[in-house]
DNA sequence: ACATCATGTTAAACTAGATTAACATCATTT
DNA sequence: AAATGATGTTAATCTAGTTTAACATGATGT
């Protein structure tokens, strides 16, 4: 159990005393998942907000034809969950599955509420974290409208080279909202351009 | 100055004492805008988080060709701002402009921080508000990927009939990420279907 | 070494939505 | 009542991205 990366992540955002860190550590769960395991399943209630210590997850949903659509990836120092399901404790719309062996820190709904009570400044911390997530989400909406598939791919490649390297191309295509065949075409175009 | 709708909005989410309400009221600004006026301009620093008392705003950006792209609308009881600009006090990517004469409650950065200090549970309130906004934003990303233009229009029409009624169709088209001509085609298709 | 499954490529035919441009309607001002 | 400007419509042509299907590569296990 190595929770230190979480504290390293929090440090620049907010100072916690040793006692606060200890309390936090006592109210979260460290868990290892194997490649392929599900952290959240569509239809279940999302029980945890998850901080990624190591590994990689994808969040996706299955449409009415059973097609998979990737919404996001999460790697070291990112958060993942179905937040809609978590905050209202209603069935999840999305699945979160591990693409590699993955270590997570799990915040259960009850323990997170308890932590908010005992360490009120965590409300501030999580407010700030969600604010950033919201801003990033809105920017992604704008990119999806205003960039071509090629430019969306180039943006992804530049912003998240660590992700592109470690996941199959058809999942990148799904994340970008295009077919794997079209991504393949884009990449061969880019290759001949240079 | 009528700030009551803000308290009515907060009430189901959090109890505030009379003193807390009074403090809050003393630290926000009520302001009337005329149709066409800008609340935030691209490039300026977004000074306020805004709660809409009455009227209607659009949030949009201008691309490199000067084309306008609508990101969101806000009506009574909604929040608006360029949150990315507000939280980091950096130049705004977006414009917020009034589509009608509009009354807003403005939370300045400094006063909001002061309110967080004096009424810490507001951190919780705003955390919850932003969580919902984030969830809605993610759902919109999913809809944009998985629904056709026609179905996105039908969703918008069902979810926000009050908005569709009061704004020009070319702004709806921009919000949906399609051209006004194509929206016109969709509407005439739907009309003949029934 | 070979078999299998997951992943990636190529190319042809197709479609959702964009673009352009001409015209229509409606409200407001003069 | 005519003129203007803002909004909406129609239709032809065009293009970004999809679909389908056949083939290629590469990793893993036996």
pLDDT single digits (tens) A78-118: 999 999 999 999 999 999 999 999 999 999 999 999 999 99
What does the pLDDT look like over B25-38, one tens digit per residue?
A: 999 999 999 999 99
C-alpha–C-alpha distance, residues A174 and A183, integer Å: 9
B33 CA – D29 C1', rounded, Å: 70
Q: Is residue B88 part of a domain?
A: yes
Average pLDDT estimate for A35-43: 95
Nearest-CA distance from B70 to chain A in Å? Answer: 9
Q: Within 13 Å, how many C-alpha atoms sit on residue A179's CB side?
A: 3
Residue A192: per-residue pLDDT: 84
Q: Is residue A106 part of a domain?
A: yes
Q: Is residue A111 part of a domain?
A: yes
- Model confidence at B194: pLDDT above 70: no
Average pLDDT estimate for A132-157: 96
Shortest CA to C1' contact from A191: nucleotide: C9
What percent of chain B stands above pLDDT 90? 94
Q: Is residue A140 part of a domain?
A: no
Helix (H) / strand (E) containing B121: helix B121-146
Q: Are the beta carbons of A83 and B120 separated by less than 8 Å?
A: no
Yes or no: say if A89 and A109 are a contact pair by the CB < 8 Å rule.
Answer: yes
What does the pLDDT look like over B123-141, one tens digit per residue?
A: 999 999 999 999 999 999 9
Q: Is residue B156 part of a domain?
A: no
Closest CA in chain B for residue A179: B145
C-alpha–C-alpha distance, residues B122 and B116, integer Å: 6
> Which residues in chain A, range 147-186, keep a C-beta under 7 Å from any nucleic strand C atom?
168-170, 180-181, 183-185
Q: Is residue B189 part of a domain?
A: no
Please provide the average confidence, as pLDDT, over all residues in chain B: 96
Nearest-CA distance from A83 to chain B in Å? Answer: 7
C-alpha–C-alpha distance, residues A56 and A142, integer Å: 26
Q: Is residue A175 part of a domain?
A: no
Closest CA in chain B for residue A62: B146
- For residue B42, give Cα distances in angstroms to A141, B84, B85, B93, B112: 17, 12, 10, 5, 22
A80: closest CA among A103, A62, A101?
Answer: A103
Selecting from A126, A135, A142 the residue whose C-beta is nearest the C-beta of B61 gives A142
Total domain count, chain B: 1
Residue A55: per-residue pLDDT: 95
Going by C-beta distance under 8 Å and a sequence separation of 6 or more, which residues neighbour residue A140? B141
Domain that holds residue A64: 4-121
Selecting from B69, B120, B130 the residue whose C-beta is nearest the C-beta of A134 gives B130
Closest CA in chain B for residue A64: B146
H helices, E strands: number in chain A = 9, 8
Residue B153: per-residue pLDDT: 97
C-alpha–C-alpha distance, residues A95 and A68, integer Å: 10
Residue burial B163-173, b: 16+ Cβ < 10 Å; e: rest: bbeebeeebbb
- Model confidence at B1: pLDDT above 90: no
C-alpha–C-alpha distance, residues A121 and A39, integer Å: 28
Could you tell me the CATH number of the domain that includes residue A17?
2.60.120.10
Nearest-CA distance from A183 to chain B in Å? Answer: 16
Residues of chain B with Cβ-Cβ distance to A124 below 8 Å are 116, 123, 127
B126 CA – D23 C1', rounded, Å: 55
C-alpha–C-alpha distance, residues B194 and B177, integer Å: 25
Residue B176 tokens read as: 């949906």
- Determine the residue among B70, B145, B173 to mutate to test chain A binding: the one whose Cβ has the most chain A Cβ atoms within 10 Å: B145
Q: Is residue A60 part of a domain?
A: yes
């Amino acid at each position: 159990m190595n929770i230190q990366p979480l504290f390293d992540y929090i440090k620049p955002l907010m100072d916690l005393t040793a006692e606060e860190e200890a309390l936090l550590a006592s109210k979260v769960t460290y868990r290892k998942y194997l490649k392929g395991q599900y952290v959240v399943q569509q239809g279940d209630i999302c029980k945890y907000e998850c901080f990624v210590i190591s590994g990689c997850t994808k969040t996706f949903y299955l449409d009415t034809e059973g097609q998979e659509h990737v919404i996001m990836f999460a790697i070291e120092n990112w958060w993942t969950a179905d937040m809609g399901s978590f905050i209202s404790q209603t069935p999840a719309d999305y699945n979160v599955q591990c693409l590699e062996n993955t270590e997570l820190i799990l915040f259960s709904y009850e323990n997170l509420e308890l932590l908010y009570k005992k360490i009120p400044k965590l409300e501030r911390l999580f407010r700030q974290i969600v604010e950033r997530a919201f801003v990033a989400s809105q920017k992604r909406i704008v990119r999806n409208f205003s960039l071509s598939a090629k430019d969306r791919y180039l943006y992804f490649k530049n912003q998240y080279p660590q992700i592109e390297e470690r996941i199959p191309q058809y999942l990148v295509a799904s994340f970008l909202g295009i077919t794997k065949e079209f991504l393949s075409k884009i990449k061969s175009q880019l290759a001949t351009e240079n």
